[in-house]
Structure 1
Amino acid sequence: MTTESAPDWVLPRRQRIGRRLCALREDRGLTQIQLGERAGMDHKTVHRIEYAITDPSLSMLLRLAAALDVEVAELLVA
């Protein structure tokens, strides 16, 4: 099994997704704790996604989008 580093363009795109998630959350007046509860995940996970510390899975993005009442594509466009 090989471990490769992600290409240089991955982190900036993850950061854009995190900023978009944060903006949508704040537009709805939600805290990270409240969004986490709505999405069925820990608020620390929400924090890690917003700050591009972790790679969110597709399932996580789908749950967050549903909790924010948006299409998952809205999290991916900035």
Structure 2
Amino acid sequence: MREGAEDVAGHSKWKTVKAKRLAGGEVNPEYAAMVEEARLGQELGAAVYRRRVELGLSQTELAERAGMTQPQVSRLEGGAHLPTIPLMVRLAAALEIDVVMHGDISAPVEFRAITAA
């Protein structure tokens, strides 16, 4: 195991960032960005999972629809992978949703079912 891997796996560094923020202390901008990206990945993964289940799809079926592999879907749903914009577009079509992108990444991840225009 690489040095420091225990801290990341246990999220103790992320907890430290949260504690510093709550205490009004300074947070290393690189850590803050890492924490924000991880939060976004977790929210996106959870949203993909919820929509996939709503549609009654397996990970394999979603992977086929989106031009991915099942392990890629698993990593995405687990929050370990942030998709590129082209992949996000394919996922949106596969999940029958509209993608709404906000200029502020702190906004919650939101999927909306496709509606008639």
TM-score range, shorter chain: 0.7 to 0.9
Over the matched positions of the two proteins, sequence identity in percent amounts to 34
TM-score of the pair, normalised by structure 2: 0.57
Structure with the bigger percentage of helix = 1
CA distance in 2, matches of 1:47, 1:73: 22
> Given the superposition, is the C-alpha separation of residues 6 and 47 from structure 1 closer, same or farther in structure 2, using an over 3 Å criterion?
farther
By how many angstroms is 1:5 displaced? 6.4
CA distance in 2, matches of 1:54, 1:47: 9
1:9-64 CA-partner distances (Å, limit 9, x unpaired): 11111100100000000000000000000111111111111111122111111101
TM-score of the pair, normalised by structure 1: 0.83
Structure 2, unaligned stretches of length 5 or more? 1-29, 102-108, 112-117
Aligned partner of 2:92 in structure 1 is 65
Structure 1, unaligned stretches of length 5 or more? none
CA RMSD of aligned residues (A): 2.0
Count of aligned pairs between the two proteins: 74
Aligned partner of 1:77 in structure 2 is 110
Q: Would you identify which runs of 4 or more consecutive aligned residues in structure 1 move more than 3 Å?
A: none
Structure with the bigger percentage of strand = 2
What is the 5 A alignment of 1:27-46? Answer: 27-46=54-73
Structure of higher CA gyration radius: 2
